[in-house]
Amino acid sequence: MNEYIIKKLETFIILLPKSFFMKRTLCFATGTIWRWSEGKNRAELINYAKKLGFPGIELTLGKKEELYNTKISASQVKWLRNLDYVSIHAPFRLLREADNQEEVIKQLDCIEKIYKQIRAKMIIIHPLDLPPKEVLDKYNMNFSTENLPKKRQVTIRKLHAIFKRYPKLGLCLDVAHAYFWSMFETEKLIKAFKNRITQIHLSGTYRRKDHLPLQQVSPMFIKSIQPIKELEVPVIIEEDVKIKNIKLVKKEIRYIKSLIL
């Protein structure tokens, strides 16, 4: 192998997202149990997540008020830093609910503080709320965007345009969102963006409802997510568990492991 090819390979490896080198680790999003706490400090949910024994976690900060009010304790920071994988989901309307660009930067600064504090590996921002490239480029963090349900009309073609505009951006593949398009959408997204996929959001879709436990979905949905088995990236359970019951969550986890691990 000549020196030119070696240098090209080294450059390619450097540009790959860190999560590319991880196995298919099953992780847990605090957004799965967002109903279990009424406070704006989303760090309260970390204590529930600790009981589940996952090697990774996604800290879901769905609203800017939650972002500003989340205070992670020293013991939680220590636990998070020892995990294999930690990501942060930025506010769902980071851009759309900001009064001006200063507000957007304020949110990103707050995210950066938490990112460094817990040694996170990825930030997830919805495509309709991506700040201007020149703003994101100022931050030394890994960013990924996410495919959305059909009603949001973020097509594969539009995602290609987004990645052209943001060449360093990764993709968080949400299989529940994909199913709103068709049972083949997950497979299409993998074919189109396989090398950009940094992590997977795992939950179910049934009768126009998403983020459902996989025990409640159809055999067609289960079939639709089979292509994710070829991806060696973290898989994050991102369901909506309405009943505050750790035993029920553990039962769902066992079922998910039987499907994908």
What is the model's pLDDT at position 194? 95
The confidence band for 96, taking pLDDT boundaries of 50, 70 and 90, is confident
Tens digit of each residue's pLDDT (9 = 90 or more) over 186-204: 999 999 999 999 999 999 9
**Burial (0-12, 13-18, 19+ Cβ within 10 Å), 245:** exposed
Angle value at C-alpha 68, between 196 and 138, nearest 5 degrees:
45
Phi, psi of 48 (to 5 degrees): -70, -45
Task: Enter the tokens of residue 166.
Answer: 């943001």
What is the model's pLDDT at position 153? 92
Count CB atoms within 10 A of the CB of residue 36.
17
Angle value at C-alpha 178, between 177 and 181, nearest 5 degrees:
105
Count CB atoms within 10 A of the CB of residue 208.
8
Q: Tell me: pLDDT of 22 over 80.
A: no
Cα–Cα distance measured from residue 162 to residue 50, given in angstroms and rounded to the nearest whole number: 35
Tens digit of each residue's pLDDT (9 = 90 or more) over 102-159: 899 999 999 999 999 999 999 999 999 999 999 999 999 999 999 999 998 999 999 9
The gap from C-alpha 212 to its chain's centroid, in whole angstroms, comes to 16
The confidence band for 261, taking pLDDT boundaries of 50, 70 and 90, is confident
CATH class entry, domain 19-260: alpha beta
**Burial (0-12, 13-18, 19+ Cβ within 10 Å), 220:** exposed
Q: Tell me: pLDDT of 23 over 50.
A: yes
Cα–Cα distance measured from residue 37 to residue 96, given in angstroms and rounded to the nearest whole number: 25
Residues 6+ apart with CB under 8 A from 214: 202, 203, 204, 221, 222, 239, 252, 255, 256, 259
pTM: 0.89
User: Would strands 56-60 and 235-237 be described as parallel, antiparallel, or unpaired?
Assistant: unpaired
Kindly state the percentage of the chain with pLDDT values over 90: 80
Tens digit of each residue's pLDDT (9 = 90 or more) over 32-79: 999 998 889 999 999 999 999 999 999 999 999 999 999 999 999 999
What is the model's pLDDT at position 221? 95
Q: What is the mean pLDDT of residues 73-100?
A: 93
Q: What is the mean pLDDT of residues 230-257?
A: 93
